[in-house]
A and B are shown apart, each in its own frame.
Chain A
Amino acid sequence: MTNDQELKKGSTPILILAVLEGSPRHGYAIAREIERQCADALKVGEGALYPALRALEREGMVESAWETQPTGPARRIYTLTDAGHAKLAASLRSWQRFSSAVNAVLGETDLGGTPHVQPT
């Protein structure tokens, strides 16, 4: 698995939670919203969304219900639960700490990948 794939796999659940914080959506709408907010930089595998949604549902972060639509068949709509809101807030704080730390280290690294080491 490439670095990009690993990062995407790890961040899919949090992206889903972030999108659902806005409003309840069905699977396709979640995928499109992630694409829109990331300006196409992060294309989450469309099918990979569903196992992630099942996992979030099992953990109680998200709940789903089949809802009738004005046109067409019923669709499964996902909603963020209170636990999901809390998880999202905690994950955002962790991500901010982590990315600050990584940026601090990467900022010390030159383009060749050699960290600047202060002479002792």
Chain B
Amino acid sequence: MFSPLDDPNITHWFERLDTAWKRMPAEEQTRQREEVQQHLEALVAAHEELGSSPEEAWSLALVQFGNPTKIGRKLHQEWRQGRVGFRAEMAAIFFGLEIQALMWFVGIGLPMLGFPILADVLFCLGTTQLILYVMIGRRYPRQAIKAALYLDILHSTWLLGTYHTNISSASVLSFFFVVGLHVMFAYFASVTRRGWYKPTLNDFKLTLPKRRQVSR
């Protein structure tokens, strides 16, 4: 009885695919391989319905699917382009440090305006934000950068609202320091994709990553 796992042509085809995308993470390879296998099995079933033997059906399906080396390489390229990786992590860390600085400056200013509890909350947020953004940025860099953009705007507004009544040389210096941090963060965020990143209106739409449902 024909078994695709015993056919050297089929195993060689899959080996070529695995070789082409070997630098992708194992999890991504597994997901992609599963998708490819399901597609091939559907093609095989269609050819068998038309009267081909299992061996012929697999042979036709593999030809119909295409060159595994080319397909594997293209999938790897697409994965690389989608992977923001190191720069996003740097952006997330950088942003986390920036938010901490903002929280400290705002936290110093707010008690003077009479909002000590809010100042305490912001101190706590600032401390945890670094951790949150490193964790989020690693797995969901687009979402992390979007959230960073929103919070940048929000905290800049709070900062200006705090310091406009409490202008001093220290607050002016700290304001420009924070502005400098904003600019550097924007630089990191802009180079996380190929070429310069041009924000669009879609970047400001907050979409949470969907939970993957897998059950067998």
Contact = CB atoms under 8 A, between A and B. Distances in A.
Interface string A86-111: 00000000000000000000000000
B-side binding surface: helix, strand, loop or mixed?
A: helix
Interface in A51-100: 51, 54-55, 57-58, 60, 63, 65-68, 73-76, 83
Contact of A50 (B32, B212, B213): B32
Q: How large is the interface on A (under 10, 10 to 19, 20 to 34, 35 or more residues)?
A: 20 to 34
Contacts of A75: 38
Nearest to B64: A46
B65 A46 contact: yes
A60 B77 CA distance: 17
A47 B36 contact: yes
A8 interface: no
A28 B43 contact: yes
Contacts of B74: 48, 50-51
B42 A47 contact: no
B81 interface: yes
A26 B143 CA distance: 25
A83 B202 CA distance: 8
A66 B212 contact: yes
Given A47-B71, A51-B75, A51-B78, A74 B213 contact: yes
B7 interface: no
Interface in B190-214: 202, 210, 212-214
Contacts of B213: 65-68, 74
Given A45-B66, A51-B74, A58-B81, A74 B202 contact: no
Q: 4 tightest CB-CB pairs across the interface, nearest first?
A: A47-B66, A51-B74, A54-B78, A47-B71
Interface of B: 31-32, 34-36, 38-39, 42-43, 64-68, 70-71, 74-75, 77-79, 81-82, 202, 210, 212-216
Given A50-B36, A51-B74, A55-B78, 6 more contacts: A31-B39, A45-B66, A50-B32, A50-B35, A66-B212, A74-B213
